[in-house]
Amino acid sequence: MNFELTIAPLNDIKSDLQIIMVVENDLKHSFIHDKKLLKKAGFKGGQDETVLFLEHDRLYVGVEKISGANIRTATASAIRALASTKYKHISIASYMNSEKCTAMLRAMVEGFILGAYRFETYKSEKSINPVKEITISLEEYHGYTLNIDVCAQTLNRAQIVAEATNFTRDIVNTTPDDCYPDVIAQIADTLAKENGLECTVLKPKALKKEKMEALLAVARASRHKPRVIHLAHKPENPKAVISIVGKGLTYDSGGLSLKPGDYMVTMKSDKSGGSAVLGIMKAVSDMNLPIEVHGFIGAVENMIGGDAYKPDDVLKAKNGKTIEVRNTDAEGRLVLADVLAYAQQEVKADYLFDFATLTGACVVGVGNYTSGVMGNSDIPKNLIIDAAQSSGELVTKLDFNRYLKKTLKSEIADICNISNTRYGGAVTAAMFLSEFIDDAHKDKWAHIDIAGPAFVEHVWGENPHGASGAGVRMMVRLLEKLTQHKV
């Protein structure tokens, strides 16, 4: 889709169709031309409710109140409603909640791009999005006067982050037979070449040299050898240095602690954290943010076989700590333990974040749509929560406590890879990871469990069936905010 900004009033734009938002069920606004028809159609003006009047080439969509989240899902619903039509060029006015803030414009553009997404790689007949051109009038709902140059910059950033999110969705949705560790490395290498990033890929010999024995154990039974990937965006005089680590389990069978059959379905999504890192690095480099960002991915496949690692094994992680394995399906934390240690060795960061589809317990605790953020300090956790609110992603804080820490105690090693209680699994998994954070990064680190929103098998908000690209928008927003403030 191509976007165009214009100072021309909405009714002066020659387009195939107008999209008009009905805000707070206000049918008296001058944008609304079909008041009687809307009442006759039973239109209630509920959030994301749509009605299409073909005879007038107008689509109405309800918005409870003007906010980024509401505008984003409304435009996503609107673009979906047009999927089976023949409209190629659509137009829409601007809807802001402030004359100086263009966040609503960003939400609008993101909603169009994210809502139009389809993953049809494996379908013999592919649908075609009819909408090719979207013209946005700077005629504003409240009558605000908008700066076209500022709006153009906002539109550009919205396109970049939405396209990076869709890029991430494509990787997550790709099947494990087509997307294994070496493929992830190839995607990273191509991205680096296209976007001017530095790229380092560690293969098994290098991983052995780096003493990543926990990660290597997880990968041992797979025919696909593991990779650890390091991408770097290094502008001159960066305002901050940030490291982001992603869990890239390209498939997780559970290992010898085998998952039930229905739990194996959708396990291609276990690479969502690593895929998010790729999307974040794409957006950061496309925007050329004045901030140094390092992305690390542990790309591994957890399979079964005669060489599989086993419950009762004791593994030695990169930082020297020994781990008693009591469940081979708690493998993501083993991979992250080594990659986190490697990231801290390679980069002394102002902040360190990791993204992972780590625990079903997080989904049980906060639902399908919300990520859990954990860590030792409120400072990085609050950065994530603030950025998530701005970006439209849902995040909640889950606190550590000393009583749960005791449940990870091992009698034969430094720590156990699962707790001795079935409760608080998201927190105990994060507390396990905290054992692999060094003193220099202890209060600079936050773990984000995206197990819920990363992959949902139905449409929700601006997200499609399948991969959502969870983590990309919130982290890019956080990085943008860091460029505006001294760290």
* Residue 397 contacts residue 309 (beta carbons within 8 Å): no
User: Is 14 in the active site?
Assistant: no
Rg (CA), the chain: 23
Q: Which of 333, 444, 473, 477 is catalytic?
A: 333
Residue 82 to residue 77: CA distance in whole angstroms: 9
| Rounded Cα gap, residues 82 and 476, in angstroms | 29
- Give helix 148-173 / helix 472-483 axis angle, nearest 10°: 140
- A 10 A CB-CB count for 412 gives 9
Distance between CA atoms of 424 and 419, rounded to whole angstroms?
9
Structure tokens at 317: 């992680």
Spot the catalytic one: 239, 259, 326, 405.
259
Distance CA 126, CA 140 (A): 37
Whether 385 contacts 274, CB under 8 Å: no
Q: Is 259 a catalytic residue?
A: yes
Q: Residue 90's closest CA among 193, 4, 167?
A: 4
- The whole-angstrom separation of Cα 181 and Cα 203 is 10
Q: Within 13 Å of residue 228, how many CA atoms lie on the same side as its CB?
A: 28
Strand partners, 483: none
CA distance 407 to 233: 39
- Quote the tokens at residue 358: 């780590």
DSSP letter for 25, please: T
Q: Quick one: how far is CA 421 from the chain centroid?
A: 30
Q: Decide the pairing of beta strands 198-202 and 227-233.
A: antiparallel
Neighbours of 20 (CB within 10 A): 20
Active-site annotation, residues: 259, 333
